[in-house]
Every structure is written in structure tokens, then in C-alpha cells.
Structure 1
Amino acid sequence: MRLLRTLSGLTVAGVLLSGCAATGGPGSTAGPGAAAPAVATTPVAAVTTLDTAATAASARRYAFPVAAKNVSWHETHSGYRATDIFAACGSKVVATTTGVVLEISRTDRYRKGKDGPYNGGLFVSILGDDGVRYYGSHLKSVTKGIKKGVRVKVGQQIGKVGRTGNASGVCHLHYGISPACARVGDWTVRRGVVWPYPYLKSWRKGGQKSPVAAVKAWRKKHGCKA
């Protein structure tokens, strides 16, 4: 008899709980006898996918410097170790990695036939948190708010592809990798001393190949003289 009374009590409790769910509880607009509202749930697979994507994004250290579908570049460059990345004028130029802006030019001071620090026209150079300097020039424009001393994040837009400076009238991004020797003014180093191609190839495919070792080796061998 005690067992029957216990079961009966459980049945009544179940009915009362069911009634609470049907009315929606405090604040609910559902009337008596209405069906219990469906509970929204996210499939486990979807949660796992989102978590994986978030982790991958937060782990990204390097980004290809031009955010455009159609780009092309060569393994070599005339005269010194750099790369010209060809893309439509106005294409987004982004920070290769997280770091601080070292130098910036919003004015095209280049004069035809005069080789020197103004060759790049409008440009931005960044000292990455990895200790490497990344330089992009011939820009059409520099993004508002980008100035010397400002921190930028990997993939953040810093300008647009253009043809300022000694760009021969062709829209492209001149791209150089180097150690930040004098940090400013050392334009022959800033324009590029380590071949960027293998790193660009990796970043374009979502890889994270780092130029840190190559830059350190160059600096040890050359002492910042290009």
C-alpha cells in the first residue's frame, strides 16, 4: 500500500509540472491548455563547428596582404628581394600581422627618374609583434586612423591598392619584408631584403609560415646594410 501511495504522489506531481509547462509559467501569454513552447536548441555538430572556426580565427597570425579574389605575384623582383602583388586598383590592403605602424606616407612625393625613399608613393610599414617589418607601397589611399604608433590587428585594412610613386602606371602592391633596423629612414632595407614569395604562397592558402628565422639570419649576416 505504501508503494501505491508513493506512485500516486509521483503521478500527481507529474501532472502539476505538466500544467506549469502548458501555461508557460510566469509572464507567459499562453492560455490554459496551450501546448508547451518548443525549446530552441543548437545541434552539437553546429556548436563544434562554430567553436573550431573561432579557434582557427583567433590562432591566425598572418594574413595575405591583399584581400581580393584575383591577385598574381612573382617569385622574384628586379634589383632586390621584394614582390609586386598585382590586383585591381582599390582592392583592400590589410595588415600582414598584428603590430605597430612604423612609417606612413599619405602624400606622393615621387619625382620621375629620381630613385630614393619616395619611390613607394603612398605607403605603410608595420613592425609586427614577431619583430619583422612589413612594407606595402604604391597605395591609392591609406585608411583613415592609420598613423605612426597605432596598433593594428592581423587582417585589418590599412589602405587600398594603387599606382602612386614609381609604379609604372600599373596597379599593384609593392611588398617587402625586412628587419626594423633604423625603423625609419632606412628605405633600402625597408623596401625588402628577404624573398616574400614562400610566405605569400603559404598565407594565400591560409597557412602560417613565418619569416622570423629568415629575417634574423639576414640581419646577422648583413648587419642591416642592403
Structure 2
Amino acid sequence: MSTFPPSPSALSADPTVDGTATPGPTFAAAVMPPPGDEPVRLPPPKVSRFTYVFPVKGCRTTYERKRLTLPKTTIWAGRGCSFVAPVDGVVREVNVQNKWKPSTDMGSHREGRYVTLLGADGVLYLGGHLDTIAAGVRPGLKVKAGRLLGRVGNTGNARSTASNLYFAVSWPVPPQYWWIRRGMVDPWPFLDAWWDGNRTLSPRPAVQATKERVGTLPACSALCAGKPEQPKPRPAKKPEKEEPPVIIPFVTEAVGRGQ
């Protein structure tokens, strides 16, 4: 039995018993869709009252989309690229000194030079490993989304890597709880949205849910303790030179008679 379909000629006539042919089935031509316009890309729905921008501006970037040790991401970008405010807000902390040392590896110093921004959405944003802080950026400064805050670098414990932006999302706490500001919520779902044009997707609900689950001031749980600073060796004390003894000659004089 053949597996090939019958030819149109075989189906065009149905021989009868007397040898005469009767009309067979006919085949319609293939239906072609009418030409249409290019698809229209609809803007994403507005899902919050806040407007966000991607935190690195004017440069080609890549970033991590998985949690390694902490809930933060590393945005790889060229040195000097602009770190900008991701949302309207108020500058909270500005660290202009790169205090990190490999000998101690203090957790509070690992981000090197950094700026934190308390957004109008109540979320705290951290940009670390900065090469420089932008002129005029100081605590209490009100900024709009897209305002330059600093330049990408590799200060802190990133000094042996390529330049990048340490980007973290959390909530505001006193400075001594530094482990909270370095990241409590995975940021890449929001970075993806802001990059792709959904500029109203807010991390606020995720931040609030995490805060309710772990508490306002959770204890540090990862990369907490630094290295104990080794005492500097004291220089060996030089032995004092012994002075040669002073020899006083003993002189005897003859005593004359009558004296």
C-alpha cells in the first residue's frame, strides 16, 4: 500500500461501471491572509504611583540575576559610568572615604564609597563600589529619578575586580545596622522591568513583606565578622652600649721627713 497521497488526476473522475466518468471533488486554492500592519507594542500597565529608572545611565551593562550570598546584584559597567537615583527621594548616607582594608575586611566597609537613597516609595537603595561621589550630593538632598549620584568604580572589596555597581534594596535603619542596607530583597526582577520599559513596577510590596517576615532589625546572618586586626610588631629595642670603664691611676707620693 502506498503511503503517498493520491494525485489530483486520480481524484478528478470516478469511473462508473459502464466506463463513463463522473465529476470528482475539486480543490480550492490556498487561502492567503490579507496583508496587515506591523504589531503595535502596547505600553505596560501602570502598577504603582512611582516612576523608576535603571540605576546606571548611558553605558552598556550586564548584571547578575541570581542570589550568591546576599540579596543584592552586581551591575557590571565601565569605570566612570553614571550611577543615578532610581526614583525620586532624599539622599540618606554619603560615604566619601574608601575605608576597606583586606587585612580586616570589615563588613561595614566592603561597599567602599557609596550613596544610599530613601525613595519616595519608602524603600532604601544603595549604590556602592563608587569611584567618586557626584558634586553636591549630601545627606538630606532631595533628588529626582535620574539625578547623578556618583560614578561607577571598584572601591571597597571590589578593588581586584572590574568596575561595577553594588546595587541593593532594603528599608531605612540606623547606620549601625549596616548589614540591612547592603540588601534584603532580590533586586533583579525590578531591574528587568525598568530596563524593559515597565517603569512603575515597585519593590515596595516585596520590601514590606520581607520586613514583616524578618522584623525591622534582623541580626546579621552572612559575611558579618571581619578579620581581627593583627597588632603591629614593635621594633626590637637596641641594646645599650656599655661604656668602657674609667680607670683612674692611683699615684703615691713620697712623704718627706718632717711633714
Scaled by the length of structure 1, what TM-score is found?
0.71
- Does the 8 A contact of 2:59 with 2:78 survive in 1? no
Match of 1:108 among 95, 98, 107: 98
- Is 1:98 paired with 2:88? yes
User: Hey, what does 2:168 align to over in structure 1?
Assistant: 176
Give the aligned partner of residue 249 of structure 2.
none
Counterpart residue identity of residue 81, structure 2 = S
**Aligned match of 2:56:** 66
- List runs of 5+ in structure 1 lacking aligned partners: 1-55
Aligned position for 1:14? none
- Give the aligned partner of residue 195 of structure 2: 204
Residue 185 of structure 2, aligned match among 180, 194, 199: 194
Q: Secondary structure in 2 aligned to 1:185?
A: coil
2:161 is paired with a residue of what secondary structure?
coil
Q: How far apart are the structure 1 equivalents of 2:177 and 2:148?
A: 25
SS across alignment from 2:132: strand
Name 1:213's counterpart in structure 2. Answer: 205
1:159 partnered with 2:142 = no
Relative to 1, partners in 2 of residues 1:60 and 1:214: Cα closer, same or farther, differing over 3 Å?
closer
Q: Highest Rg: 1 or 2?
A: 2
Q: How many Å apart are 1:61 and its aligned residue?
A: 1.2
Considering only aligned residues, what root-mean-square deviation do their CA atoms show, in Å?
1.6
Q: Does 1:223 align with 2:215?
A: yes
Q: 5+ unaligned residues in a row in structure 2: which ranges?
A: 1-45, 221-259
The number of residue pairs the alignment matches comes to 168
1:119 aligns with 2:106: no
Deviation at 1:103, TM superposition (A): 0.6
Using the TM superposition, give the Cα deviation of residue 116 of structure 1 relative to its aligned residue in structure 2, in angstroms: 1.2
The runs of at least 4 consecutive aligned structure 1 residues that moved more than 4 Å come to none
Distance in 2 of aligned mates of 1:192 and 1:212: 14
- Give per-residue Cα distances to partners, 1:47-86, cap 9 Å, x unaligned: xxxxxxxxx9xx8711100003410001124211000000
Q: Which of 117, 130, 133 pairs up with 2:121?
A: 130
Query: How far 1:186 sits from its partner (Å)?
Result: 1.7
Question: 2: CA distance between counterparts of 1:206 and 1:139?
Answer: 26
Report if aligned partners of 1:77, 1:84 keep a CA contact under 8 Å in 2. no
For residues 187 and 72 of structure 1, what CA distance do their matches in structure 2 show?
A: 26
